[in-house]
Amino acid sequence: MSQPTDPDGSRRVAEQAARTSYGRLIAILSMRRRDIAAAEDALSEALIAALRTWPQTGVPTNPDAWLLTAARNRQKNEARARSVRQAAEPELMQQIELAEETVQASDRRLELMFVCAHPAIDPAARAPLMLQTVLGIDAATIARAFLVEPATMSQRLVRAKARIRDAGLRFGIPDRAEMAGRLDAVLDAIYAAFGQGWDRLDLPDMPEALTGEAIWLARLVVEMLPQEPEAKGLLALMLYSSARRLARRDDAGRFVPLDRQDPRLWDRTRILEAEALLTVASRAGRFGRYQCEAAIQSVHVQRPLTGRLNLTALLKLYDLLVTHADSIGARIGRAVVLAETGDIGSARAELDDLPQDRVRRHQPWWVARSQVSLLAGDIADAIACLTEAIRLTERPEIRDHLSDRRETLVRSLPA
């Protein structure tokens, strides 16, 4: 162990381990008993012990192995809960080589994801279950991402974990024929994780932790299923987005929307990789949501080269997306493009036809409605919609950006 000279630093290491190693450790701990909930409880106790112990005793040489051993001790004997902190380190010294091999060489998160995507699990719970068990995202955050009530999401997750335990579902990578049937749910969870990381759920000193995990998992799926074009489409989509990371903030840290970004700050290597993946995926002749969304991003990437945004191509792609993979996000994006092409009536109808009980709590819907109203010349409604969007915005940099837009519109009103 290191010397306990920096209690705050030790706490940060424990918190970092909780974020970066959560899914890997849950996968290992749940394999034998097939009980995800029990594994989560054991790991939570180990993390509490680490937060309590490491600031005094120092950070272990291998924090993941310490946590794994402590959690296993908890699983083996609940009566030893009070002594798990003292027992973990001596046992670690005896088992360190085995533990290191287990943690470092056998990353079983993808196995756990395919278990969560089993046909016996409620389809509505599959992607959320992966987000919680593999990446450690809390139920309330997952609920917001899927536009459902937190209590509803929590119930789905509890039932899904009980189903895995009670049905004795096999933990492992399914054969290729069975794997393909579960692929959509796995890809959805990976992209949802990327989206949450993109919304700055990552630790401040690890700005790409969650997005990086999502890209890594997508690469693993592409490697395992090289004939699946949707896996390539998803990886391309995330690479297009992550390529623009440095351009999303100006020198003062303010948010910069896509149409105002400096393309010289985009990561050309990632863009070229994304373009190549999308090209290869298209040769399979099987349309999919992620290929379509990646193609939309490709159109945006072409803007600096052509000097204009190809709205005709964007609208065709959104038409395809809505026809074959309808969603609230796709409808909102299509509405904005319709308005940009001058079809204000269709844009408004697109937004108004969405389920109002869901979208009125959805910040992007209000932002899109504001943009459509602005293009229609209805500045007062654009301001009102931005006001509601600001109220629903949690990220301070986005809130500041929207507030600046709103103030600009307010100043444009006649005196």
Residue 71 domain-assigned (yes or no): yes
Q: Name the one residue in this structure whose structure tokens are 């996968």.
A: 27
Q: Which two tokens stand for residue 211?
A: 């997005």
Q: Which of 106, 131, 162 is the last residue of a domain?
A: 106
CATH number of the domain at 372, please: 1.25.40
* 277 domain residue, yes or no: no
Euclidean distance between the first and the last CA atom of the chain, given in angstroms as a whole number: 68
Residue 33 CB: number of other CB atoms within 10 A? 12
- Spatial separation of the C-alpha atoms in residues 111 and 221, rounded to whole Å: 11
Residue 304 in domain: no
Name the token pair of 165: 């335990």
Residue 297 lies in a domain: no
Work out the number of other CB atoms within 10 angstroms of the CB of residue 22.
Answer: 22
255 strand-pairing partners:
249
- Is 192 a domain residue? no
Question: What single string gives the DSSP state of each residue in 146-175?
Answer: TTS-HHHHHHHHHHHHHHHHHHTPPPSPPP
Query: Is residue 319, in this structure, part of any structural domain at all?
Result: no
Whether 351 is in a domain gets the answer yes
pLDDT in tens, the chain (415 residues): 554 446 666 677 766 666 667 767 777 777 666 677 777 788 888 888 888 888 877 778 788 788 888 888 877 755 344 444 444 445 544 443 444 444 443 457 778 888 888 888 998 898 888 888 877 788 888 888 787 888 999 999 999 999 988 888 877 777 777 777 788 888 988 998 888 777 664 444 455 567 888 898 899 889 888 889 999 999 999 999 999 988 998 888 889 999 899 999 999 999 999 999 999 999 998 889 999 999 999 999 998 888 899 999 999 999 999 998 899 999 999 999 999 999 999 999 999 999 999 899 999 999 999 999 999 999 999 999 999 999 999 888 899 999 999 999 999 988 7
Three-class DSSP labels, 275-297? HHHHHHHHCCCCCCHHHHHHHHH
Last residue of one domain, picked from the residues 106, 129, 148: 106
Q: How many domains does the chain have?
A: 2
Instruction: Give the other-Cβ count within 10 Å of 132's Cβ.
Output: 26
244: three-class secondary structure by DSSP? coil
Last residue of one domain, picked from the residues 83, 106, 129: 106
User: Would 289 be classed as within a structural domain?
Assistant: no
- Range of 33's domain? 7-106
